[in-house]
Amino acid sequence: MMRRAAGRSAPASAGVWGSATALGLAVALFLASPPLSAQPVSSQLPAAWGPLVAQFAAELAADVEHDAVGGVTAALARDGELLWSAGFGWADREDRRLAGRETIYRVGSISKSVTAVLMAILARDGTVSLDAPLQEFVPEIRRLRHRPPGAAPVLRQVASHTAGFVREPMLAGAAAGPIGLWKARILASIPTTGYQASPGAEYSYSNIGFGILGLALERAAGEPFMDQVEERIFRPLGMGSSTFVVDGRLQPRLATGYANGGDGRVDAAGPAREHAGRGYKVPNGGVYSTVHDLAAFAAGVMERGGADLLGDAMRSEVLSVQTPEDPDAGYGLGFSVASVDGRLYAGHGGSVAGYTAHLLFEPATGLTVVLLRNYNRGRTNLGTAARGLLVSLPRQE
């Protein structure tokens, strides 16, 4: 069921473990065999799904043990309610704190989905139009480099990565600095950012584009971006463990991030520094969350079992392919979307220093898979694993 990412594993005995003393080696061996911290399987889980979920869990547990870095929390939900969840390995390996259902992780670019949903909410309410020119809210984009003749990207193009922007700005330190300075970093980055294509011509993934979009939404609504997300998304959906800033209430549940490379070295210091700020990377990579909260978010987008964030017309826009390459598979507004054998799937992955994540859901059934990990390189390809589980489950009549 679970396909692994070839060449992505990090040898447990390399790098920082290479010079272990006898005591250090014993500790390393203990860390290399993280226990399973499983949550009870809900009685709502159909009997026919039990063996498939058990196989999925066993493969995931084996991969986390093989990686010997940190932990993973996994969940299967329907209509926002968890049918099953389990933690594997360590949320903090030094403190022997296990990963579990309530563990909080950075979710990386799943933040883009949150930002695009906020845009759709504002469009539903008439605050903005999906086809409003970005320059209406951020006139500073006139300073973008290499502007094609007549280029005037609109909000939907920014939210679908079809505005033509490059991936990252060229500004030194753009992705560093206190979270309170994210807007200043955006504005300083714009003159160092440019186009690589005409708006609408191609799918070109852009982190800085989503940063600019977050600034546009703040200016359009006249409310701070992070406050809008809290009031319009997190609070209505009961996402009490989701935030941009981890406070004292949530800190004990935060997984320690481990940035691990191909040489086997594991760095916790770099991910720890980013908790104080990621420069401009707030609307595009600043969210912290849990498996339960992300399942609630997916349900809200699907209008299944929770608050309806969007309405039918706007939900159709969000979950429709907006990119020009393939009408059946591409990027909608803040989500990757694909039709497979007549079934629509939507989701997003995320990767930042010390954390990786994947969210995948099927609107027709309300089924959602969430995988959150507190390290970067591992034997499990989270996206492939999520798809494998969701597709394998027999459909109920």
Task: Please determine whether the domains at 18-111+229-392 and 128-221 fall in the same fold group of CATH.
Answer: no
CB 202 within 8 A of CB 331: no
Residue 7 in this model has a pLDDT that exceeds 70? no
Model confidence pLDDT, tens digit, residues 167-225? 999 999 999 999 999 999 999 999 999 999 999 999 999 999 999 999 999 999 999 99
* Cα–Cα distance measured from residue 3 to residue 1, given in angstroms and rounded to the nearest whole number: 6
Nearest to 290 by CA among 74, 139, 120: 74
The gap between the terminal CA atoms of the chain, to the nearest Å, is 23
Give the C-alpha distances (Å, rounded to integers) separating 218 from 122, 225, 230, 279, 338.
10, 5, 13, 17, 30
- In this prediction, residue 2 has a pLDDT band, given cuts at 50, 70 and 90, of low
Pair of tokens at residue 200: 């609408």
CB neighbour list of residue 283: distance below 8 Å, 6 or more residues apart: 111, 112, 115, 182, 210, 211, 213, 214, 215, 217, 225
Residue 54 in this model has a pLDDT that exceeds 80? yes
- pLDDT the model gives residue 76: 97
- pLDDT the model gives residue 24: 33
Reported as type and span, the H/E element at residue 228 is: helix 225-229
Q: What is the dihedral of CA 273, 244, 358, 129, to 10 degrees?
A: -130
CATH architecture group of domain 128-221: Up-down Bundle (1.20)
CB 233 within 8 A of CB 307: no
CB 239 within 8 A of CB 107: no
Residue 28 in this model has a pLDDT that exceeds 50? no
The fraction of the chain above a pLDDT of 70, given in percent, is 89
- pLDDT the model gives residue 221: 98
- pLDDT the model gives residue 395: 84
Model confidence pLDDT, tens digit, residues 228-238? 999 999 999 99
Give the DSSP per-residue string, 134-201.
Answer: GGGT-GGGGG-BSPPTT---BHHHHHTT-S-B-SS---TTTT-S-GGGHHHHHHHHGGG-BBSS-TTS
- pLDDT the model gives residue 16: 24
DSSP 8-state class, residue 94 = T
Model confidence pLDDT, tens digit, residues 74-96? 999 999 999 999 999 999 999 99
* Total residue count of the chain as it appears in this document: 397
Residue 305 in this model has a pLDDT that exceeds 60? yes
Which residue ranges make up each domain of the chain? 18-111+229-392, 128-221
The residue ranking higher by pLDDT, 29 or 203, is 203
CA atoms within 13 A on the CB side of 243: 14
Residue 153 in this model has a pLDDT that exceeds 50? yes
* Cα–Cα distance measured from residue 251 to residue 166, given in angstroms and rounded to the nearest whole number: 35
The average pLDDT across 332-346 equals 96
CATH architecture group of domain 18-111+229-392: 3-Layer(aba) Sandwich (3.40)
* Residue type at 372 in one-letter notation: L
* Cα–Cα distance measured from residue 48 to residue 250, given in angstroms and rounded to the nearest whole number: 36
Give the DSSP per-residue string, 29-89.
Answer: HHHTSPPEEEPPPPTTS-GGGHHHHHHHHHHHHHHHHHH-S-EEEEEEEETTEEEEEEEEE
